[in-house]
Structure 1
């Protein structure tokens, strides 16, 4: 019975994935289905299969930041629940139950895409420098003799996001200051040109008066 129900739920999430997700995200939903079937804390044979399917997609969406509008695979709870014909509150609550039972958090390696995992993975050089994994692999791999790969946990992820936001804020402030300084220099140049033109005009008038 459990195996049959698992297949039914997998088919439901596969149908959703075909319409709204890419292959990698669809594979994540399938892995979660299988993990649920093997979990003793939850019994997927109880309750409506549509609610289980919707909740599974909801968990994957949350773990992969799909509710973020800037994500290219952006989803809303309405899209998920409308597809499966489920209530948003019920689906969200069931998703939370699943996350707690399987100890799932944002960017969980088991149920996330490589892109999400890499974006929150960092390396530590033997000198103690912490760098984004992507930077090391794509730009300065040859300069790093020894690295320790680490996956940021949820609290560290928040700290990283705060740090990145502060960095962005500082960069924007620096860019604005540079823009204002450039405008100030342009005004100074324009003022010098204006004064020079006025002086030339005065000198011209002076020469004309002497001729008279």
Structure 2
């Protein structure tokens, strides 16, 4: 079941979107597969794949023409061979089940994360600070604690998504 869904999301994303969308869809699929009981065991695999792509697209504003890549939901449904309402309903169910919101850092593209100030706000000694302005050792510690998605000081020099250890 999981492999069929990943095959479908990868094929769609690599053909119509990009590798980053494919990786985020795989991450979301894995999270759904680990949930007990996994909702993926019931229902049409195509609909699950479409719902996963829809959910990741929604988190990242895929339907917004100012985004690159972008795609309207009706076009996505046509390309996936499913009804738009069915795809959207499954996507919303996925988002509700896993408590995923718009711009959720766990399922956001790098560009969305970089431009979302809420991702970087931390409380340090009672003050709200932007983690991107902290010294690198504190950024590394915040990353290790899961408070920020990557270490900005290291990404600025290497564009790496994780700090070197």
Q: TM-score, normalised by structure 2?
A: 0.72
* Residues 1:54 and 2:50 are matched in the alignment: yes
Between Structure 1 and Structure 2, which shows a larger proportion of helix residues?
A: 1
- Superposed, 1:108-147 pairs within 5 Å as 108-120=104-116, 121-123=119-121, 128=127, 133=132, 136=133
| Change over 3 Å in CA distance of 1:100–1:42 after alignment to 2 | farther
CA shift for structure 1 position 130: 5.2
**Equivalent residue for 1:94?**
90
- Superposed, 1:185-204 pairs within 5 Å as none
- Of the candidates 27, 31, 34, which is equivalent to residue 35 of structure 1? 31
Q: TM-score, normalised by structure 1?
A: 0.57
* Residues 1:69 and 2:65 are matched in the alignment: yes
SS in 1 for 2:120: strand
Distance in 2 of aligned mates of 1:10 and 1:53: 7
**Equivalent residue for 1:19?**
15
Distance in 1 of aligned mates of 2:60 and 2:94: 15
Q: Would the aligned equivalents of 1:119 and 1:132 in 2 still touch at CA under 8 Å?
A: no
Q: Would the aligned equivalents of 1:41 and 1:101 in 2 still touch at CA under 8 Å?
A: no
CA shift for structure 1 position 122: 3.4
Task: Render the CA deviation track for 1:162-198: whole Å, top value 9, x for unaligned.
Answer: xxxxxxxxxxxxxxxxxxxxxxxxxxxxxxxxxxxxx
**Equivalent residue for 2:152?**
none
Distance in 2 of aligned mates of 1:108 and 1:6: 23
Unaligned runs of 5+ in 1: 152-212
CA shift for structure 1 position 43: 2.1
Distance in 1 of aligned mates of 2:63 and 2:131: 23
Distance in 1 of aligned mates of 2:3 and 2:60: 23
Task: Render the CA deviation track for 1:80-122: whole Å, top value 9, x for unaligned.
Answer: 2112211111111111111111111112222122221121133
CA shift for structure 1 position 126: 7.5
SS in 1 for 2:5: helix
| Change over 3 Å in CA distance of 1:60–1:128 after alignment to 2 | same
Distance in 2 of aligned mates of 1:119 and 1:80: 25
**Equivalent residue for 1:78?**
74
CA shift for structure 1 position 47: 1.3
**Equivalent residue for 1:7?**
3
